[in-house]
Amino acid sequence: MSELIAFIGVGNMGNPMANNLVKAGKKVKVFDVSKKMIEKAKEKELDVVENLDDLITNEVTTVITMLPEGKNSKEVYLGEKGIINKVSKNCLLIDCSTIDIQTSIEIGKKASEKGIKMIDAPVSGGIMGAEKATLNIMVGGTKEAFDNALPLLKIMGKNIFHAGDLGSGNGAKICNNMSLGITMIAASESLMLAKRLNIDIKKVHEIMKNASGNSWPISVYPPLPGLIDGTPSNNNYRPGFSAGMMNKDLKLANECAKQVNASTPLANMALEIYDKFCKEGNDTKDFSAISKVVGGNAWNYPID
């Protein structure tokens, strides 16, 4: 049977990921519920199918989903017209969305009851990583399903990890993003303090990049403009990775921590800060825009 990939959810991340599969010579058909994203996919000359029913057929050999939240994955895989009722047993399901562990396990179990293999494979590396195919991909599922997915994952990412059983990919991703949410605030506080101390921000950034205060937000994705080209802070905080998504991930971390009785005071505080920021209407701004509300008096806020 010839290979056919159905890619569902071609937003900020899914679009470049699907595009990389096409560039690698794969036959890919894409679907999204958003008209705007469909137009963007057409601009990239992706093969768009306007209706999910027409996309998910017996011929599909792999389904890849890149959706916002657990409820979206649940609807697409298990809903009334759910994928697991339509694909053949040989079809491999790869959910790259960052979602709660329980939903991943539930979808995977229901798929395996039908003899279908499924992995959770959330990613990190942002839209730049998606575009350059340098994503880190964290996989939960059986070794067999991981091995089956590996050739496709290697096209979209650079470092591919088998984290453990189903749900472990999302578990690892949630731990990662918990740190990211905290360090983005930490980087913002440091750079804002430097600004208020009237020290040249570019120099402080260069120093921190090479000193012990370095972090991914400092070295790759600084929250203040004028430091690294191509970052959302240089583009009026257009996402990128939205504050709403970070808020979702910190909520996931908070729920996980409660379930296993882990103490995570900094993550709880980060959640409070992002939650307030989102409620003030900034959920569609890049998450690095949090720098507008930390480190003293807000500068240039609200964001235009």
Per CB under 6 A, residues contacting ligand NAD are 8-9, 11-14, 31-34, 37, 66-68, 72, 75-76, 97-98, 123-124, 126-127, 240-241, 245
Nearest Cα neighbor of 117 from 86, 79, 84 is 84
CA distances to 23, 73, 219, 281 from 150, in Å = 17, 21, 29, 39
Taking the least distance from each CB to ligand NAD, the nearer of 194 and 253 is 253
Taking the least distance from each CB to ligand NAD, the nearer of 194 and 267 is 267
Q: DSSP class of residue 292?
A: G
Neighbours of 56 (CB within 10 A): 24
- Write down the least CB distance from residue 66 to ligand NAD, Å: 5
Main-chain phi, psi angles of 293, to 5 degrees? -120, 5
Pairing of strands 47-48, 28-31: parallel
Taking the least distance from each CB to ligand NAD, the nearer of 204 and 245 is 245
Burial class (CB in 10 A: 0-12, 13-18, 19+), 143: exposed
Which residue's beta carbon is nearest to the bound ligand NAD? 11
* Known active-site residue 251: no
- Among 29, 74, 117, 173, the active-site one is 173
Give the span between the Cα atoms of 196 and 41, in whole angstroms.
43
Taking the least distance from each CB to ligand NAD, the nearer of 37 and 184 is 37
Residues with a catalytic annotation lie at: 173
